[in-house]
A = this chain, B = another copy of it.
Amino acid sequence: MIPVGVVGARGFVGGELLRYLLQHPHLHVAYVTSDTQAGAPVAASFPSLHGLTNLTFSQFDAEEAAASAELLFFALPDGQAMQHSPAVLAAGKKVVDISGDFRVRDRATYEQWYRREHVSPHLLPEAVYGLPELHPEVREARLVANPGCYPVAMLLALAPLVSRGLARPGGVVVDAKSGVSGAGARVGMSEEYSFPAINENFRAYGMTGHRHIAEVEQELAHLQPGGNEWRITFTPHLLPITRGILATCYVDLTEDVNAPALTALYREFYARAPFVHVQDAPPEVHHTAGTNRCILSVTVDARTRRAICLSAIDNLGKGAAGQAVHNANLMLGLEETAGLTGGALWP
C-alpha cells in the first residue's frame, strides 16, 4: 500500500476522493487535512463514510505532508496549491492538484482569466494537464493539474473531431449543464444554492466569461493539426440534481461526414481508454453517478452540417476525484483502473 494524502478534504471533492481512496487496493490514506476541522474525526464530517475510517483531520503542514505520503492530492480553493506545491515537490513527493492553479500553461493567460498573480510560474512548464486520454505523459509527471469538470466533458467530446481537423475553429458552441455539487464550497453559504432556489428550477450562469474556457482553448489548440488559436462559446447551466454534467457540443464540420462514420471514429479514438464509453444513444448523466466514466455519443445534423457531440460525466468523478485517482494510479505505476471499477448506482 502506497501512502497518499488529501489536503483540503472537507469539501465535496475531498469527501468523494476519500470514498475512492478508502476502497483502493493499493493506496492508503495516511494524511488528511482540513483547516476548519483540524483535530476532528473525518467520519464526523462524512457520515457517508462511517465505519470506513478512523482518520482525524490535521492542520496542513507541508513538511508533515511530505513526510507522510508519496503523493499529495490538493483539493483546495484556487490559489493555494501553487503556494504549497514547491515544498512538497522539493521533498521528492508527487502532486495532483485539483484546483485551477496549474491547468493553464501560459502565465499571462492564467493571470488574465484568474485575475491573480501566479506565485510558482517556474512549475508551469512541467505541470501536465491531467486528462490521460489526451496526455499519456501523465505517467512520467510529478505535478499533474487535474482538469476542470466542464473541460473534461467538453474535451473528451471534441477531441476526436478536432484532432482530425474536422472542426472549424470558431465554429464550436458548448452548452453545458451541471449538478449543484459542481459549485463546491459556495453551496453551503448562499441562498442561491438552497433547496427552494434550485428545486423545480433551471438557469444559465457565468455567461461568456467562465474560467474553464482558458484550459479548453489551450487543449483544443494542442489537439488541432497545425495548432490554430481557438475561440469557443461556452454556457454553463445549473441542473436541479446533485451530481452530473452533460455537455452538448455543436461543431461546424469542415467536411461532409455522417453519424456512423463519426461514431466509428470516436470508438477508434477511445479504443484503449478504459473510462470512455462511446454509444449510439444520447448518454444519460445518471449512468455515470459515482464513477470515473465518461459516456459519449455523436451525431450529425445534415441540414446544417453540424456535428452534435454529447458527453456525460459525474462532475465529482471523472470531473474531479475519480480523475485524480486515475492520474495518481498512472503517476505511481499502478494499474490504470485500480480503485475505479465500481458501477454506477441504478436507479
Residues of A within 8 A of B (CB): 12, 15-16, 18-19, 22-23, 46-52, 170, 173, 175, 177, 180-181, 187-191, 193-205, 207-208, 231-233, 235, 237, 239-244, 246, 248, 250, 274, 277, 279, 282-287, 289-290, 293, 295, 299-304, 306, 308, 310, 312, 341-347
Contacts and interface: CB of A to CB of B under 8 A. Distances in A.
B231 A304 contact: yes
27 contacts: A19-B346, A48-B287, A49-B346, A50-B277, A173-B250, A175-B175, A180-B194, A180-B195, A180-B199, A181-B196, A187-B191, A187-B194, A193-B194, A199-B199, A200-B243, A201-B241, A202-B244, A202-B284, A203-B283, A203-B285, A204-B246, A204-B282, A208-B299, A208-B300, A231-B304, A232-B304, A250-B250
> Which of A23, A200, A312: most chain B Cβ within 10 A?
A200
> Which of A195, A204, A290, A346: most chain B Cβ within 10 A?
A195
A187 B188 CA distance: 10
The number of times this chain is found in the oligomer is 4
Given A194-B194, A195-B194, A290 B345 contact: yes
